[in-house]
Structure 1
């Protein structure tokens, strides 16, 4: 790896470390840039998992072709783990064509698996899968395989580039009736990316966690504590429904380039009574449409352990999608097998994160 200086072979893709202060200007050039590759959010996640972060770009002849925030977890026994969640970013807006996925993955393997001896895991965004032809085949050709120790990612996608009339007609009749009730209830919707708006998510979300007793990687106060250098998140937004001046429901979502994703939703008793969550979801769908976003990912489904939430999402008229949740670089030898065994034990000890939590 180089620290900004160039290697002699200018025809090879290489991994270059950049400072976190330069990350946003690079990441914003990608259509698949999400909250998972947002520096402040990734730092908060790294702190909770006791990992280190590296901000890197993959370039050739001085031209950026991909980028990633790499989370590195040091393992006392076995090999360190390098993990790219929500990346690598590959849909460069000005490129005009699909990226050389195999070359990008080869550069990452060369740096982290070969040179440093890490186990390397990646989890590209749903937007990448939707926009890059045969991405799964290209990932396999790039030397990665689905990680059988992790659950496959099942979700529902809503095409938000259709007309408002078509999207509303696609809603299940019962869902549409619940939406009509919410629309006539006098709710006011506010939507913003400011820290003040994100902080309004915390109380409702914390109440939900306590009531439902589910595990989450983002504990109470998380959204209040996130601080961006320019005062606003580049990808996270909060929509809050209020009734007579009191917040009754909230929805946190990420919006980026070609896609958006539902992250957290919570309603108080008054919000549930008037179906506020229906109005919030419809608000986000319309906002995605107005912003030119193609896909709205409903944030995962679990038909067995969370059937009520699955039914709510299924009635929104989207398309069911199932993809490998995580990919790992092939190979690794005996030490790699040992480390993967330790990782599986760690995953089994942790309570499973539900579909309501942030991934």
Structure 2
């Protein structure tokens, strides 16, 4: 068995195949998606154990360079291993620790991993300064908690019947109205979706990808047949868009927005249902609506009657304990978090 860093298209393809076949695989960790991460001063690496031409186990390693010289390493939703290959996870974790140490990281944080991985991490880090909590909270590439609409064993009709009364009514009304749903397949139409997203971001003061980055991400998705971009039109006006990514076991809602003056959430509900149906046609088991959120967004998601999946599992290794404790006291302050997010927003544009 050979440990490699996936830097070639062939090696990245091995990682993507493992990710798609694994129950804990995340669309956010597909290699082509990672290539479009937009955080400044951030490096992303993929590490694999390869056996007989296949990835036996692997993990994604994020490394953030903070002002002042500190570095944070993070492994989201991993490591993962193919069935029957879990014995190599300890070696993989040890190799990741060595890599984080080589990078000069203050701490190494594993998060949102499978329950059985916790014992591997504890055994590997026996004697080290370890915390069962996240110290780095500014950015997490995957989902700590998520709402999933279960698709397995359903048809489009039984899926519709599983939603709440209001959503079923709206979707049936939409089917009888002039709501037009378009699957975007050309560059020129991507701008329409981005304009909706940009307008929504302006209303909520949310930082989004640049237009160029979004366009490039969608092109990569098309090349890999890895998802769908949908736009709804009401009375000829663009009303909402939804972008979702397929990753084998599941499909995840990546981004979306709607124009309240055109359709309130009417167009958005139709698009989410269409995205779920497209996933259903591929035999995908579940559709993730993302994190639970709060307020109106949470209420909107709950109308689809999702299941809450809790991935709140953490193991943080303090590679430089004194510096890590000082860093924790600083980044735990609300004022620092707000200042850091403003800095990232400026750099990401």
Tell whether the structures are fold-level matches, with TM greater than 0.5.
yes
Q: Which residue of 2 aligns with 1:150?
A: 137
1:212 corresponds to 2:199? no
More helix by share: 2
Q: 1:254 to 1:156 in 2, by over 3 A?
A: same
CA apart distance, 1:84? 3.5
Q: Following the alignment from structure 1 to structure 2, what is the Cα–Cα distance between the partners of residues 53 and 149? A: 16
Q: Map Cα deviations across residues 316-345 of structure 1 (whole Å, 9 max, x no partner).
A: 111123332764335532233334445445
Deviation of residue 71 (structure 1)?
A: 2.9
Structure-to-structure mapping, 1:39-50, within 5 angstroms: 39-46=31-38, 48-50=39-41
| Contact 2:57–2:88 (Cα < 8 Å) also in 1 | no
Maintained 8 Å contact 1:70/1:82? yes
Q: Note if contact 2:151-2:285 (Cα within 8 Å) is conserved in structure 1.
A: yes
Select which of 43, 48, 57 maps to 2:48. 57
The equivalent residue for 1:66 is 57
Aligned to 1:108: 96
Q: d(CA) in 2 for partners of 1:23 and 1:194?
A: 29
Alignment partner of 2:296 out of 308, 313, 318 = 308
| Counterpart residue number, 1:323 | 311
TM-score norm. by structure 1 comes to: 0.75
Partner of 2:345: none
Aligned CA-pair RMSD: 3.5
**Quick check: 1:20–1:55 contact (8 Å CA) kept in 2?**
no
Match of 1:349 in 2: 339
Q: Which runs of 5+ in 1 are unaligned?
A: 1-9, 353-359
Cα deviation code 1:93-135 (max 9, x no counterpart): xx5776754443233223324x4442223445xxx74xxx645
Q: Tell me the number of residue pairs that the alignment of Structure 1 and Structure 2 aligns.
A: 325
1:72–1:185 CA distance, 2 compared to 1 (3 A): same
- Contact 1:171 / 1:317 at 8 angstroms: preserved in 2? yes
- Correspondence for 1:294: 285
Classify the secondary structure of the residue corresponding to 1:28. Answer: helix
Give 3-state SS (helix, strand or coil) of 2:223's partner: coil
Greater CA deviation, 279-288 or 185-194? 185-194
Whole-angstrom CA distance in 2 between matches of 1:146 and 1:84: 14
**Which among 194, 214, 224 is matched to residue 202 of structure 1?**
194
Q: Report what 1:267 is aligned to.
A: 258
Q: Distance in 1 between matches of 2:78 and 2:192?
A: 29
Match of 1:179 in 2: 171
Q: Give the gaps of 5 or more residues in structure 2.
A: 343-349
Q: Deviations over 1:223-274 (max 9, x none)?
A: 1244757963553421111245542211011111101111222112464258
Offset of 1:50 from its aligned partner?
A: 1.9
